Amino acid sequence: MYFLGVDGGGTKCRARLVAEDGRVLGEGLSQTANVTAGVEKSFNAIMASVEAAVAKAGLDSRIYPDCVAGCGIAGANIQDLKAALTAMPFPFRKVSLESDAYAAWLGAHHPDDGAILIAGTGSAGFARIGERIKTLGGWGFAVSDSGSGAHMGQRLIRTALLCHERIRPASELTEKVMARFGSDPQALVAWSETALPRDYAAFAPMVVAAAQRDDPVGQEILAESLKEIEELLLALSNLGAQRICLLGGLSEIYVPLLSADIRSLLVEPRTDAMGGAIIMARGALEDAGRSDAGKLDAGKLDAGKSDAGDSGAGGA
């Protein structure tokens, strides 16, 4: 028996293959698995990362029927998308599929209470306090994802266009952005028509680097994003979370910039989101075992009733 843990985020999808005893056999990487960008695209990214992990282990697809997979996928908190992705033809023995935030929370805190906030291409929070479970954000780039790399990049693109039209004062950062598009707003608009959240997030490192060089636009955008992350962390704390993990590609940027009070809430995760997805996979196998045992017990009971009925009829 093998277990697969898949962490499908907005920029990349990672998979880890482990043996039944927990030994890591291989890991793989592919492109974004965010299901809001397309169910088939998400499925293909998941399978590509799994194929890479299995190949790294020196194995092949013949092990798939002996694999139980846990998948934490960005956008899977949206129930219609989750159902559509779950219905795809996964070749594994069993699949447990939830949001990337849920898998990250499991990895960070299981089996205890706590909260996580992912700050990467997108953003999403998840908390469990006693019997209460609460999610924050994670509704997609168009309407949510506060403080994320995608929103940081979008702010930069919008500001660069405003500066190019002399509506706002330009800076070295905004001029560099417009230079990428030949200083042509038409080219920028053409790019935006097909740009995905990860494409906007690719501009986030430029914002951070510019802010560190005291570029006024970079500083303003980073400060706005930091404020949104602090709001989310404070909201998780107000729910009663006493242990919060700040995760994702931007976490290392944000942590030293947080206020001391909010930074004091943060703890290190116990393991990563792939580890959390493997916990999901093991749980799915245990659930399947309990279900099979229940069916077997029910079958025995039915068989006993049938035998008793036949005996009674014969006696009559």
The domain that holds 130 is classified in CATH as 3.30.420.40
Q: Which of 169, 155, 158 is nearest to 204 (CA)?
A: 155
- Provide CB contacts within 8 A for 275, sequence distance 6+: 5, 16, 106, 107
Structure tokens, 28: 């793989």
Two structure tokens written together for 147: 């403080």
pLDDT confidence of 291, banded at 50, 70, 90? Answer: low
- 137 and 258 part of one domain: yes
CA 151/CA 19 separation, integer angstroms? 39
Q: 43 and 12 share a domain?
A: yes
Residue 311 forms part of a structural domain: no
pLDDT value for 314: 38
Average pLDDT over residues 155-172: 98
The encoded tokens of residue 39 equal: 């169910």
Residue 57 lies in a domain: yes
Q: Does 219 map to a domain?
A: yes
Q: What is the largest CA-CA distance in the chain?
A: 99
- Give residue for tokens 């001029």: 175
Would 310 be classed as within a structural domain? no
135 and 31 fall within a common domain: no
Q: How far is CA 272 from the centre of its chain?
A: 11
Confidence of residue 292 (pLDDT cuts 50, 70, 90): low
Whether residues 133 and 92 fall in one domain: no
Assess whether 120 and 258 both reside in one domain.
yes
Considering 263, 282, 306, which residue would you say is the last residue of a domain? Answer: 263
Are 30 and 139 in a shared domain?
no
Co-location of 103 and 120 in the same domain: no
3-class DSSP state of 193:
coil
- Asked if residue 289 and residue 235 are part of one domain, the reply reads no
Q: Tell me how far apart the terminal alpha carbons of the chain are, to the nearest angstrom.
A: 51
Does residue 295 carry a pLDDT above 80?
no
Query: What is the domain extent for residue 144?
Result: 116-263
Report the alpha-carbon distance of residue 275 to residue 104 in Å, rounded.
8
Q: Is residue 302 part of a domain?
A: no
Q: Judge if 96 and 175 occupy the same domain.
A: no
Residue 25 DSSP code: E
Residue 288 banded pLDDT, cuts 50, 70, 90: confident
- Residues 96, 190, single domain; the answer is no
Whole-angstrom Cα distance, residue 276 to residue 109?
A: 9
Measuring CA to CA, which residue among 148, 153, 95, 149 is closest to residue 125?
148
Same domain membership, residue 215 and residue 169 = yes
- Assess contact for 101 and 124: CB atoms under 8 A: yes
**How many domains is the chain built from?**
2
